[in-house]
Amino acid sequence: MLTALVTGGTSGIGAAFAEALARRGHALVLVARDAGRLEETAARLRSEHRVPVEVLAADLSDRADVDRVAARVEDPERPVDVLVNNAGFSVKTRFTDPDTTAHDRAFEVMCRAVLVLSCAAARAMTSRGSGWIINVSSTAGLITMGSYSAIKAYATAFTEALAVELAGSGVHVTALLPGWVRTEFHERAGITGSSIPSFMWLTPERVVQEALDDVARGKVISMPTRRYRTLGFILRHLPRPAVRRLSGMVASARQKERAGGS
């Protein structure tokens, strides 16, 4: 039985990964901040799928907690075969705001923790000659809209670089770049989605299913659905000034949406 460790595994895309992997018969290690929600999720998955589910309450903005999770990833007595770095959140703080706390926390959770956990997994998995690392990035990393875009651009580039380093090792690395997904993520960010065309919204279940199919095919970049693959191709080939103008338009629409919802 393979074991998968999923960060942010109690909601949204992380919960969909946990569900899909449990359905495939994988044992799970779920990581999240809310211990109560972790236990509830674990109990349901154990009952529905008859697989072992371990819980690890951790705040990935706390470096000591990240070290604890990394130690679990690298534990030779309890090997982790699949790592899903999914934990993340929206960053609404502007670059010009004097308080950089939100930027600091976002960097710790979505950059440094991804780096530390991926490297721990890479060390353990290469020693065994097999394993899968999935880092949940975003199509937001293809545009230039605030701290979140910059962070996700890093996550994608880091994953591709890690894939190059691990080529031929038996360890497969994939960056998942979803677009707009119906989860708590946007609700917590104050985004209702009214400015986004309905056909651009995806379910977390579809995103995860296509991602796992891409992982099985050995893809380094996974962009679920043809519409987002087309969008990604366009964004990669547009002149950078055009990408910045487009980013400004999206940012303006989002600000109006938040103002209307407040």
Catalytic machinery residues: 148
- Compute the distance between CA of residue 185 and CA of residue 11 in angstroms, rounded to an integer: 9
- Compute the distance between CA of residue 211 and CA of residue 4 in angstroms, rounded to an integer: 15
At 206, list the tokens.
Answer: 């579809």
Helix, strand, or coil here: 102? Answer: helix
- Compute the distance between CA of residue 139 and CA of residue 143 in angstroms, rounded to an integer: 7
At 261, list the tokens.
Answer: 């919802």
Q: Which residue has the tokens 């099985």?
A: 216
Find out whether 18 and 83 touch, Cβ atoms under 8 Å. Answer: no
Buried b (16+ CB within 10 A) or exposed e, 75-100: eeeebbbbbbbbbbbbbbbeeeeeee
